Structure 1
């Protein structure tokens, strides 16, 4: 794409300068001064700052991308930890005695240390190490992303007796079906072997005997989540694993110091292996160093005995506290008391609710009759009656209901003076008395229950108040236990270290730096990975800025225009965004106070300095290619000059693509082309506009030979006739980058104006302008920056866009050469890419 664009540009320049494809390029001595002064080869800081500012969001996105890539790398990469110990050896080499040292009689310390290194990395050390720690069975659990090795904290342990060697180095998947049953499966020779066995019993798995037991103190997970598996390694795999990750180097031959390091994904395992290697390697040495300092060991034993005595006293105090308070966990008892108090409160609320029900029943009984219908009962008026849990009270209430219902029936047929009514009333009174006595008994019962609850609450509260003191006392008693225990462990470690370091009178061995589980991995280093990610994002961002800067080939501002050409800059025309124009229009008369109108007035004023307004002038307006707004500038500049009182006529000499008539909504059936072929007179072709002193002549039908018509003497006669009637002749010429007609017309103009459109015109066009000025001696060439605030590389500030092309064949006018207009389309993918990099 770039090669075709360069070829097109060279063709445009050849057309503009009159060169032909067969001409030889100019020699270096013939290069014009304009080309020599061209600043395009230097660094344009303003453009660089502009591109950097536009690319800032992309730089930030690339930095975020680099940070995200670093995070993903750390998330999906297993960390590698390195544990190391440093040991100091005596000059005598124990490797010599086992056949791994230097030759007999050789005194070179380096050779002796090399023999020690070989001893540490020998199969003899590996064999003793396998006997000391279990490296043959590795346990793993599958995490969210990566699997982790459960070294020392697996919930189960495995014993085995393998008959089929192919089962070594295979992944055995474990699924616990229950706390006492598990299922194991392994894929061997493209087939899956599986079996279900009991925990704690030997099982006959195909090719091996398997025994799985739970780790004491750990619960066996039931189900598929998490997923566990283990791998059984043979001796060769274990030795290969140790040899691959173990590194032994001589640090200082003069000091006889050796560093033993081991790398693994599990830091505890790496430290444990290093410490075990130290132990295994020096087993023979330690066996020969059993003679020790008796006084020192006696002192350590005395301190240990004293510590043990105090420890036992602290334990007795702890036991006495337990016997006295009858509890091991005071805090747990405190929680239990609080729970009992809460339960007491719930019981109290229930009893109070029962008392409320009794009060409601008593209140109802105090009435002569309950207010209800014949079908209603006391239970209907008291929904919570069942909560009393008193069948006797319920039966009495039901009996009273029945008696009152019978009384009401009797009263319907008899008076209250009759014996039957009086008898029923007496029965009801007796029932009420029984009911009142029952209510009184229930009331007394519930009050007694409340009293008992109050007593219990008082006891519990008193116990709770005493708990903080007991908690303090228990913690005070436990502190010495922890202190003596840790002191005992430290003394035991000191005693072991003393036995190692001070063992006997034979050459000594010292562990200068024992191995400990590393806290940070050696790979990947988080800060380094993030630094690389951010640096990569920054480099990509700077590369993007550099790429966009190198591909930034359009003029964006007045500064680039001034630096790129020697022509005088008349002014800058801002984007006209008040309305969307499909074609160039005269807008200065409708919007005299708009920024566009003020900018064109400034250009008119600057023109007066170049060519005085009291003289008649010919002004030509051209550009490199179509779409840079020359017609818009010509029409509105003519309007501004006409509004100042001068008579202005605009000539549309872009006969291949006439547009001046479109600016004034006029027809184009006659014009320049018909005048030059003498089909119409000058007066017949002059058209008037809304501005009284502004006229124009359209291009007329497109002729087959526009250049030859301009060279016709009739053209000069036409200009002379117009000079007699008009003060300013403003000529809209064809683009000089496409055809040579514009150059011919510019030679006749007093002031040639070259239009450059911001964010549209290429910087190479400025070189074309400089070449035109040099080759044609255009000393009064002026430039105007149009659409100075247009946004986007392919956005048209005036709301129109078109292409400029030529084709051979018949058109509507009957001439052999025509033009075509491109419809307004959204940018293509290639245009978007070019816009992005510009």
Structure 2
């Protein structure tokens, strides 16, 4: 194991880059084993993120006001839709257009105005809770009366706090100044507005000290409130059904609004259905009152005549003349009535008024001109069509000009016909007057009293008949209005929404979003960790990414912190680390027998992977087995062996190679009996040339005569070429890979070195491996022997906190 210092991994030079060029980059494909390792290590994080997502969903549901929706379904009757819309030619429109007209009527100001008058929507009462504000619909402990004609605090929060059952304070807005204490039931002036706060029977001691507020909504705010929350849509055009729904935070209020809209819509439909009949009744009532006044006057005159003359007999000789005069007088009255009606029609045409009332009056005439009624109906339809077009267009359009021409033409025809009719009536009246004059002359020859009696009886009879006729017509239209029924029925009235089933927020969707969000971030975390997982973490990764055999695994050394590499196997001979190096010593025999002299080189890709630590402690283990071992430090640029073995670096391999010192002069002893070492010596300017020289081979031959094993701490092969030169001379080249430090890309350099230099005996060692990545290592390399059977000192057992921390690494 090497010291975990802050070595700069950017020291890797072009040697590693060359490996990327020579060999295909295996990182472009997904490493399923590494991915599974990352997934397994990230499961606690994913679970935590999902729990955080669920927690966020719970908090969102907890602190979000629930929105409820109540709806009803109504069905329209086909036979009255055209009448309801009051559009000429409406029977030719499509069913969808008729239904859309009803949708517009429900959402019109007519229905809104009726709704605002029939429901307590203008003033809303609320209570401030710790989490959410709640509207006290029909449950407010107080109410407010105000003078709407002089009120200007619309759409503002006015806070009310009760100090007792009879005392309270008010303030306008959250930042407003609190008023003096007022008495319940006494009118007060608030910023020039007169209000009176009254308590309801539901007021209790629990309401004292709570913060209430009320809002007086303006007409515009109420209209926006209704427009935003009311939904009216055609549900099924074929079945002629319409859905009416309303969204509100208060579910009871939502239900009441929908039911009230149904009621108001019913009233509006009935009012529009009775409008034509009501106009006719108004006309009949006016005529009836006038006729009744004339009848009463005639009765009074007849009563006065009888009292004056004390007689009621009529001469039989006068009956014929009197009958004729009565008939002529009745005919003349009818003619005058018709003439008055024609004059009224003429005035309405000139003014452009609605002719519906006139047409209804013509229908009451027993003798009516069908041509005139047809022309008036056509003119009225044209005027109604023009008004409809003007509501959808601006200015004079071609369609409006065409309608004006048609209306002008119809008006001329009607005026001409009216002129002819009035002339004809005037001629008839003149003829009747002449006949009456003749009859009157005959009667005047009789006593004046009898003549006066006959006249009074005639007038009384005429008025009486006409009065009874008008009464009969008014009764008929009254019965028609009383029998008017709405042209729709409520198929499904609004019901109270379930408290556990708001339309927003949807509990299942919010929790699903929370889980999906946690999984999304968990997968993103796995992807990020996988992309960042570019170091060798386990022996399996080492075996999978290189063809060189794995000689063994050296665990992390945690007994003490070492600023530099040290010889520790002699201090802790029974530790897991010592046992792992003994296993490596045993596995070396499979590569080269211990009975012969061996040259072992130890190198790595870059500095910091632990080659000096491994070389030093491997030499100690081999020496402790009875073999004589000498350790040579040939990493002349960054020598560390003398530090690990507490020696000096005044003279060493560099001075021996230049023949300044001898081997005997440079050899240093260690605390282990059979282990010696030669330090690197002063750093030379040409380490590679020195190693390539003949002197280096002579040194090795001389050392082989005295020592069984020569261990060489070689320079990193990824930085300089010295290490490769030494590996070619070694019997067993060892390549050190440090767990969680060495890049996976370095392993491609191992295979390149093996193939290029034909190093068939080269093996790798995984250094500084965590315990979780050691167990289960194959016995094929001899590693793992003795674990768990007391052959080495027990390492300090990890605590619960350290295990939890390791789960999130």
How far residue 274 of structure 1 moved from its aligned partner, in angstroms, is: 0.4
Residue 714 of structure 1: how far off its partner (Å): 1.9
Partner of 1:244: 228
Alignment equivalent of 1:145, drawn from 114, 131, 134: 131
1:129 maps to 2:110: no
Q: Distance in 1 between matches of 2:557 and 2:198?
A: 85
Q: Secondary structure at the match of 1:512?
A: strand
* Counterpart contact for 1:161–1:208, Cα < 8 Å: yes
Distance in 1, matches of 2:267 and 2:511, equals 45
1:192-225: per-residue Cα shift (whole Å, max 9, x none)?
69565443344344443323322234337665x3
Q: Displacement, 1:744?
A: 2.3
Structure-1 separation of matches of 2:257 and 2:741? 71
Any idea what SS the aligned residue of 2:537 has?
Answer: coil
| Deviation sequence 1:41-94 (CA, Å, 0-9, x none) | 333333233323333332232223212222222233221111111111211345
**C-alpha offsets along residues 234-276 of structure 1, whole Å, 9 cap, x if unaligned?**
2222122111110001111111111100011111111110000
- Distance change (3 Å), C-alpha of 1:62 and 1:753: same
Confirm or deny that 1:713 pairs with 2:694. Answer: yes
Q: What is residue 5 of structure 1 aligned with on the other side?
A: none
Specify the alignment match of 1:759 in structure 2: 740
Q: What is the distance in 1 between the residues matched to 2:237 and 2:679?
A: 100
Task: Quote how far apart the aligned CAs of 1:102 are.
Answer: 8.3
Equivalence for 2:494:
515
Do the aligned partners of 2:642 and 2:679 also contact (CA within 8 Å) in 1? yes
Indicate how the Cα distance of structure 1 residues 58 and 774 shifts in structure 2: closer, same or farther if over 3 A, else same.
Answer: same
Of residues 135, 138, 154, the one that matches 2:140 is 154
Q: Call closer, same or farther: CA 1:610–1:129 in 2, change over 3 Å.
A: same
Match of 1:439 in 2: none
Which residue of the partner structure matches residue 29 of structure 2?
42
Asked which structure has the greater RCO (Cα within 8 Å, sep 6+), the reply is: 2
Deviations 1:446-496 (A, max 9, x none): xxxxxxxxxxxxxxxxxxxxxxxxxxxxxxxxxxxxxxxxxxxxxxxxxxx
Q: 1:779-829, CA deviations, whole angstroms, 9 ceiling, x for partnerless residues? A: 33210111222699xxxxxxxxxxxxxxxxxxxxxxxxxxxxxxxxxxxxx
| Deviation of the 1:731 alpha carbon | 0.5
Partner of residue 601, structure 1: 582
CA distance in 2 between counterparts of 1:598 and 1:555 reads: 22
Partners of 1:178 and 1:95 in 2: how far apart?
Answer: 60
- The residue that corresponds to 2:593 in the other structure is 612
Matches of residues 549-628 of structure 1 in structure 2 within 5 Å?
Answer: 549-628=530-609
Deviation at 1:644, TM superposition (A): 4.1
Aligned partner of residue 210 in structure 2, secondary structure: strand
3-state secondary structure, aligned to 1:148:
strand
**Distance change >3 Å, CA 50–CA 279, structure 1 → 2:** same
**Alignment match of 1:57 (pick from 44, 59, 62):** 44
1:213 aligns with 2:229: no
Moved more, 112-121 or 572-581: 572-581
Task: Report the alpha carbon displacement of residue 710 of structure 1 after superposing the two structures with TM.
Answer: 2.0
Distance 2:687 2:42 in 1: 46
**Are positions 1:203 and 2:184 aligned together?**
no
Shift of 1:694: 2.9
* Cα drift, residue 507 of structure 1: 6.7
1:612-634, Cα deviation, whole Å (9 max, x unpaired):
33443321101122232212221
Distance 1:609 1:596 in 2: 21
**How big is the shift at 1:778?**
2.9
Q: Is the 8 A contact 1:96 1:115 kept in 2?
A: no
* CA distances 1:543-576 after superposition (whole Å, capped 9, x unpaired): 1122111101221111000111121211222233
Please state how far the C-alpha of 1:757 moved relative to its aligned partner.
1.4
Closer, same or farther: CA 585–10 of 1 in aligned 2, 3 Å? closer
For the residue of structure 2 that corresponds to 1:169, the secondary structure is coil
In structure 2, the partner of 1:666 is 647
Which string of whole-angstrom CA distances, capped at 9 and with x for unpartnered residues, describes residues 482-525 of structure 1?
Answer: xxxxxxxxxxxxxxxxxxxxx97957533222112212211111
Worse-matched range after superposition: 659-668 or 227-236: 659-668
Contact kept in structure 1, 2:549 and 2:763, CA below 8 Å: yes
Q: Alpha carbons of 1:541 and 1:137: their partners in 2 closer, same or farther (altered >3 Å)?
A: same
Q: TM-score, normalised by structure 1?
A: 0.62
Task: Say which of 739, 745, 750 aligns to 2:720.
Answer: 739
In the alignment, which residue of structure 1 is the partner of 2:218?
A: 234
Shift, 1:279, TM fit = 0.5
2:72 alignment counterpart: 85
Number of residue equivalences:
562
Please name the residue that 1:76 is paired with: 63
**Which residue, 749, 773, 778 being the options, matches 2:759?**
778
Indicate if the aligned counterparts of 2:140 and 2:202 stay in contact, CA closer than 8 A: no
**1:280, distance to aligned residue in structure 2 (A):** 0.5
TM-score between the two structures when normalised by the length of structure 2:
0.64
